[in-house]
Structure 1
Amino acid sequence: MKKPVGAAEVVLAPGQVSFATGPTRLRTLLGSCVAITFWHPQRLIGGMCHFMLPRRLHSQQPLDGRYADEALELLLRHAHVNGTHARDYHVKLFGGGKMFPELQRHKPTQDVASLNIRAALDLAERYHLHLTAQDMGSTGYRTIMFDLWNGNVWVRHQPMGILQQDAYQKNQCAAGR
C-alpha cells in the first residue's frame, strides 16, 4: 500500500470520472453508488468512475459521470485517446450497498443499489470488458483505493450495523491481474 514518491492522489466525488497516465492513487467512498476501475497492466494507466444512477432518460446533453452508461463512455474515450482499447484493461466493480434496507423492504422498486449493480454488470457484458473482480451488494458503504502503479484495489466495507471492520483488505481477486 506504499505510495511511490511523487504519486498523485485524486478523490472522486459522486458523478466524477478520473483517468491518469502516471503514478496515481484514486479514492472514493461508495454507498448505493458503483465504481468501475480500469487498469492497463502494460502501460500502468487507467481510471475510475463513481456513478450514482444507471442511466438518464434524456441524454442530449454532454456526457455526465453521474450515470453508469455515460461514465463508462467517458472511461472508454480516455482509453481511446491514450491509444488503448477497452479489451486491454482489467476492470473491477465495487459498491451498490443498500443504505436503507429497512425502507427498501417495503418499496423494492426503489432499490437504487440493485439497479446500479445490474447496470454495471450489463455494461461489462455489453462491452466485453475483462472483469477481474467485483465486490458489490450487501449493505453499507465501501471505501475504495485504486493504485494505478500496480493495479491493486483496496476495499474497506462497512456493512450496516457493524461497528468496525478490519483495516483495508486487499481485494483477493487483485492477485489475478
Structure 2
Amino acid sequence: MDVVSQFLSNTPLWVYILFFYLLSRGIKGFKPATVSLTKLAVIPVLLTGWSLIELIRLYGLKLETSLIWIAGIGVGVGIGILLLRRAAIFADPSTGLIHRPADYTLLPLVLITFAIKYTFGVIAAVSPEHMLEPAFRFSDLVLPGTASGIFVGKFTVYLQRWMAVRKTSLP
C-alpha cells in the first residue's frame, strides 16, 4: 500500500483535476444532451493535446515516433467513426447546437485513456530506462494515439452531421 500512496502523493494536482473533469464528462455522457460543437471538442482536444505534449516531452518530434503516434491516431479515428456512424445525431443550425444520444462508450473510454496515460507516465518516472525499449516506446506511442484518435473520430462524426445540416440550410 505504501507504493500506491507514493504514486498518489507524487501525482501533480492538474492530473487529479483532469481525472475528475473527465470522470464528470463521462458520467454526463450517459444522458442524451443538446450541446455545442465547442463543448463536444473539449475532450478530444484535451486528450490529444496531453498525448502530443507527452510525445514531445518524452521522445521529441522525431519522424519515427511521430509517424507511430499518427498511425495510432488514424486507427483511433476509424474506431471513433464506427462507434457513432449510426447514432441519431441531429444538428440544429438555428441554435448552433447538436443533439446527441446517450453515449455509453464515453466513460469507459475516458477512464481507459486516462489509465493508459497515467500508467505510462508512472513507468517513465520510476523506470526511465524503459523509454529506450522498443516495445515500450511503441506501446507508449500507439496506445495513447489510438485512444486520442477515438475521441477525434467521434468528434468528426458530430462535425460531419453539423456540416451536412448547415450545408442544406444555407440560402
TM over 0.5: no
More strand by share: 1
TM (norm. structure 1) is 0.26
Q: Which has the larger radius of gyration?
A: 2
Larger RCO of the pair (alpha carbons < 8 Å, separation 6+): 2
TM (norm. structure 2) is 0.27
